[in-house]
Structure 1
Amino acid sequence: MPDTYVILFAVLLAAAIATYFVPAGTFERETVDGVERVVPGTFSGADGSPAGFMDIFMALQEGMIQSAGMIFLVLFAGGAFEVVERSGAVKGGILRAVHLTRGKEFWLIAVVSTLFAIGGAVGVIANAVIPFVAIGVIIARALKLDAIVAVSITFGATFAGFNVGFLNPYTVGIAQSIADIPLFSGMALRMTAFVVIVGVTIAYTWRYAKKLLQDPSKSLMGVLDEGEENGGLKAPFTTRHKWLLGFVGACLAFFIYATIQFSWTINHMSAFFIVIGLGAGIIAGMDYNKLALTFLDGCQKLVYGALIIGVARAVLIVMENAKILDTAVHALSVPLQELTPVTAALGMFAANGVLNFLVPSGSGQAMIAMPILSPLADMVGITRQVAVQAYQFGDGFTNSIFPTSGPLMASLAVAGVPWIKWAKWMLPLMLIWVVIAVVMLSIGVVINWGPV
């Protein structure tokens, strides 16, 4: 598959070419409760100018400028989480949980999966789960299970949490910012969905693991040999580590409070991740040089993902400047307006799943999808909160099975699991996730799920 940047540049070129053929048009807009919304039924033609050669490349620069807040959010979050990960607190905490549940296979799988799911839901792990898959292999070897279980309790659990992303700055945070609704609003329903999806994932994994414990021949891969007395399961989990994880947890809890009480924005969150990184480094005992370099290393690891946001924004700038973005929204709204609000929401969910095959980046997809889904939601009679979650589900679920997902393919490579075998195991679980998503989105439409 072409690289994500290659795909996005091809989309940018296609958008530029479309400005010569797609008629320009605009909707009238009104401000409701401080949020600018499209007025349904007001689409009309407009004067637009096709994109020139330099306009394409100027859009890339402008995209980076307009997305600066979101780009730095991703970079600074990466820096903060790198400090936490380098401290050894995350690995130590996971392996401490493994030690406490030794001999209790279900609780071991449940505890480890829950930890990774929380990491995915708050954006702490996500793509960084790849090296942790090796820990999953060690755990699976200790339990005499197979490599599929190793991937499931690490990568699979992470993206079960990522599917909902109730406190994920890279997906829900960016999408809500674009949709102009309060950051991390709608938390109660998302956390309910998180509990259900993660619970189902743990039950599905345990059902398979229990079958292997009773009859190893039922494995799709062959069980792992216990090997070297589980030496890899040893890692310190000190009082310092406990204080560090407690500090990070308290910071994230305060951020939720601050977004509700003080209406914090993306910029506040970016700045707060610097505070988290500094505090975590000090608690970890890092000297000032090591702290600075570790934070910058974390930023560097996410440059690839951060700049995707600006490139994706460039596509929309080209369409906005030529006044064909509203034309695209109008074209999409015509068939959706014939549907009920519930089926329209499900259509958005399905469309985002397909889009993720081409743009397997949560933040990049948010930048492309949400400027279209937000006015579309206004027109078809659903809330923007529902549109955000339709995007999040469409992006999240397919990350666990599409071969265009880099973290998936890398995780499978670490564990030595062929994609075909993983897909055979994963497909039934993903279908269960889809049913849960359909129910949640339907409830969201019925209760007119808003910012609260």
Structure 2
Amino acid sequence: MTKFKVPHTLTLLFSMMVLAMIATWIVPQGFFDTQTLANGRTAVIPGTFTLVEERQYLTPWQLLTAIPRAFASAQDVIFFVMILGGVLSIARATGTVDALIGRLLERYGNKPQMLIFMVVFCFAMASSFIGTAGEYIPFVLILVALCKAMRLDAMTAVGMTVAGYGIGYGVSAFNPFTVIIAQQIADLPPMSGNWLRFAIFVPFVLIGFHHVWSYSKKVLANPEISMVKDLPCPLIGTETVAYPPLTWAHRLILASFVLTIGIVAYNIRANGWYLYELGAAFIAWGLFITVIGKVSADVAANKFIAGAMELTTTAMLIGVARGISLIMEDGQILHSLVHGMSTPLSYVGAEAAAVGMLVIQTLLNFFIPSGSGQAYVTMPLMVPVADLLEIPRQVAVLAYQFGDGFSNMIIPTNAVLMGIIGIAGIPYGHWFRFCLPLMLKLMLASSLVLVLAIIFGYGLDLQPAVA
């Protein structure tokens, strides 16, 4: 029997687009009425779901036209990734990355477990507090190079990055893009209930660390069991036999990188910056390091173009991934799926319904990969269900953030995830096999937390009065 082979990630994503189109022929088409909130965003109105009077069938031609439309819709992410690739290529030309890797190897070369824990913990902290996500993409190639030098593999580098990102979102203390929005919709005080999320932060981080480190130990003992041993390393041709010393110019470049990340993180929260502004900030950093690193203008231009070209595949994956949810929207089945999944919750007990909310939010994140977008679509429906079953609204918010955050690590419609694994040269099928056991562990742990939250009345002290 021929051994089954996972198809190329692009093939897999396009197949999902085809399945989404077929689903629009079968799934009942309908929609909720929406209302415009004070912040300008729209939210669905519970109890207003209506089936369309006449089904509209999407055609294969509309499937094909959805692809360029998806690229246009995801252009901010695509161009940010390509700009980032170009700027990081300039940074590599200054020798800073090699010097940093040499310095880190001196300190952590014999303690890879410490490096993995630090990355998972720090990335989880950043995602939890300020909602960082795409900002991790600049670190991927640095971590891949570092892992390679420590006899680990690219999967370890991506594993610690994505585990920190997903767990940070899942147990966020006050992520402004998810928790704050969901609590506003649920009529709860912003940032309320933080004591529980603080309490479970370290245990969930340890789950992620243990998963990545367990895999890494096996790779260290036997490189042949690496999940990516059959794949070319994205850093082929950049091997350094002797790492250069970390000069003051390198230190200044690294300090300016940290400063750039800090400026970006602050302005995301304070001034609503997003990918256009992020791209501009990294272009400014690229110009700065060109001067500090004494890279000629022509060399910098060639490095920038080469770095951007290396991420063409990643850009393609991001564009096609966006096409899946676009087909769902065009076929008017997105609200139907939400309605169909949420209705059965009203027929089960509180504990089962809380876990059911987690499962539904996890599944819906595939179709609505935007955390804030998912909150506006699902929370207006989950809140009445929670009230009906006497589930504290704080628990409904917790189920939402668990489902949205953890599934960010595995759904192929998440542009940030596709950008990270694309830069590291890891096909989605390989990543899925690595991440699925971690997802199951996190789902089991979060289900236990939700059940205990129901038993101990988490959030009852802030429950709004229901008419």
TM range, smaller chain: 0.5 to 0.7
**Alignment correspondent of 1:346:** 358
Which deviates the most, 252-261 or 382-391? 382-391
Q: Structure 2 vs 1, CA of residues 303 and 236 (structure 1 numbering), >3 Å: closer, same or farther?
A: same
User: Helix, strand or coil for the counterpart of 1:23?
Assistant: coil
User: Helix, strand or coil for the counterpart of 1:30?
Assistant: strand
1:29 corresponds to 2:31:
no
In structure 2, give the amino acid aligned to 1:124.
P
Shift of 1:244: 0.8
In structure 2, give the amino acid aligned to 1:379.
L
Which deviates the most, 65-74 or 86-95? 86-95
**Alignment correspondent of 2:48:** 42
Shift of 1:370: 7.8
Shift of 1:262: 1.5
What pairs with 1:360-371 in structure 2 (closer than 5 Å)? 367=369
1:160 corresponds to 2:163:
yes
For the 8 Å contact 1:109–1:153, the answer to whether it is kept is no
User: Helix, strand or coil for the counterpart of 1:328?
Assistant: helix
Shift of 1:245: 1.0
Q: Structure 2 vs 1, CA of residues 269 and 43 (structure 1 numbering), >3 Å: closer, same or farther?
A: same
User: Helix, strand or coil for the counterpart of 2:46?
Assistant: coil
Shift of 1:380: 1.3
Output the CA distance in 1 between the equivalents of 2:177 and 2:310: 19
In structure 2, give the amino acid aligned to 1:125.
F
For the 8 Å contact 1:127–1:407, the answer to whether it is kept is no
Task: Output one character per residue of 1:256-303: Cα deviation in whole Å (capped at 9) or x when no partner.
Answer: 211222122332223223223322333322211222222222322222
1:10 corresponds to 2:15:
yes
Output the CA distance in 1 between the equivalents of 2:328 and 2:273: 30
Task: Output one character per residue of 1:375-428: Cα deviation in whole Å (capped at 9) or x when no partner.
Answer: 1233113778974663332242799xxxxx96899789xxxxxx9xx97xx999
For the 8 Å contact 2:70–2:319, the answer to whether it is kept is yes
For the 8 Å contact 1:77–1:273, the answer to whether it is kept is yes
Output the CA distance in 2 between the equivalents of 1:429 and 1:7: 22
Shift of 1:207: 9.6
Task: Output one character per residue of 1:76-114: Cα deviation in whole Å (capped at 9) or x when no partner.
Answer: 233333333443323322331332467xx55x6424652
For the 8 Å contact 1:248–1:280, the answer to whether it is kept is no
For the 8 Å contact 1:64–1:310, the answer to whether it is kept is yes
User: Helix, strand or coil for the counterpart of 1:37?
Assistant: strand
TM-score normalised to structure 2 length: 0.65
What pairs with 1:104-123 in structure 2 (closer than 5 Å)? 105=110, 109-111=113-115, 114=118, 122-123=136-137
In structure 1, give the amino acid aligned to 2:161.
T
**Alignment correspondent of 1:52:** 59
For the 8 Å contact 1:157–1:198, the answer to whether it is kept is no
**Alignment correspondent of 1:302:** 311
1:391 corresponds to 2:404:
yes
> How many residues are matched?
387
Q: Structure 2 vs 1, CA of residues 369 and 33 (structure 1 numbering), >3 Å: closer, same or farther?
A: closer
What pairs with 1:173-252 in structure 2 (closer than 5 Å)? 234-252=243-261
1:126 corresponds to 2:140:
yes
Output the CA distance in 2 between the equivalents of 1:278 and 1:332: 50
Which deviates the most, 155-164 or 367-376? 367-376
Shift of 1:310: 2.4
Task: Output one character per residue of 1:161-190: Cα deviation in whole Å (capped at 9) or x when no partner.
Answer: 233467xxxxx99999x99x9xxx98x999
For the 8 Å contact 2:123–2:168, the answer to whether it is kept is no
Task: Output one character per residue of 1:215-257: Cα deviation in whole Å (capped at 9) or x when no partner.
Answer: x9xx6779xxxxxxxx957442111111111101111111121
**Alignment correspondent of 2:81:** 74
In structure 1, give the amino acid aligned to 2:103.
R
Q: Structure 2 vs 1, CA of residues 430 and 328 (structure 1 numbering), >3 Å: closer, same or farther?
A: closer
For the 8 Å contact 1:130–1:407, the answer to whether it is kept is no
Which deviates the most, 28-37 or 371-380? 371-380
Output the CA distance in 2 between the equivalents of 1:442 and 1:233: 54
For the 8 Å contact 2:66–2:327, the answer to whether it is kept is yes
Q: Structure 2 vs 1, CA of residues 260 and 411 (structure 1 numbering), >3 Å: closer, same or farther?
A: closer
User: Helix, strand or coil for the counterpart of 1:237?
Assistant: coil
1:63 corresponds to 2:70:
yes
**Alignment correspondent of 2:335:** 326
Task: Output one character per residue of 1:325-349: Cα deviation in whole Å (capped at 9) or x when no partner.
Answer: 2212212222345565742453146
Shift of 1:72: 1.6
Output the CA distance in 2 between the equivalents of 1:63 and 1:191: 38
Which deviates the most, 10-19 or 436-445? 436-445
Q: Structure 2 vs 1, CA of residues 239 and 370 (structure 1 numbering), >3 Å: closer, same or farther?
A: same
Q: Which runs of 5+ in 2 are unaligned?
A: 1-5, 125-132, 170-174, 185-189, 225-239, 384-392, 413-419, 463-467
Q: Structure 2 vs 1, CA of residues 324 and 160 (structure 1 numbering), >3 Å: closer, same or farther?
A: closer
For the 8 Å contact 2:144–2:154, the answer to whether it is kept is no
TM-score normalised to structure 1 length: 0.66
User: Helix, strand or coil for the counterpart of 1:20?
Assistant: helix
Output the CA distance in 1 between the equivalents of 2:273 and 2:68: 27
For the 8 Å contact 2:358–2:400, the answer to whether it is kept is no
For the 8 Å contact 1:123–1:162, the answer to whether it is kept is no
Output the CA distance in 1 between the equivalents of 2:123 and 2:81: 15
**Alignment correspondent of 1:93:** 100
Q: Structure 2 vs 1, CA of residues 161 and 86 (structure 1 numbering), >3 Å: closer, same or farther?
A: farther
For the 8 Å contact 1:130–1:410, the answer to whether it is kept is no
Q: Structure 2 vs 1, CA of residues 337 and 29 (structure 1 numbering), >3 Å: closer, same or farther?
A: farther
Q: Structure 2 vs 1, CA of residues 209 and 233 (structure 1 numbering), >3 Å: closer, same or farther?
A: farther
Q: Structure 2 vs 1, CA of residues 173 and 235 (structure 1 numbering), >3 Å: closer, same or farther?
A: farther
**Alignment correspondent of 2:172:** none
How large is the Cα RMSD of the aligned pairs? 4.9
Output the CA distance in 1 between the equivalents of 2:212 and 2:326: 44
User: Helix, strand or coil for the counterpart of 1:123?
Assistant: helix
Q: Structure 2 vs 1, CA of residues 343 and 7 (structure 1 numbering), >3 Å: closer, same or farther?
A: same
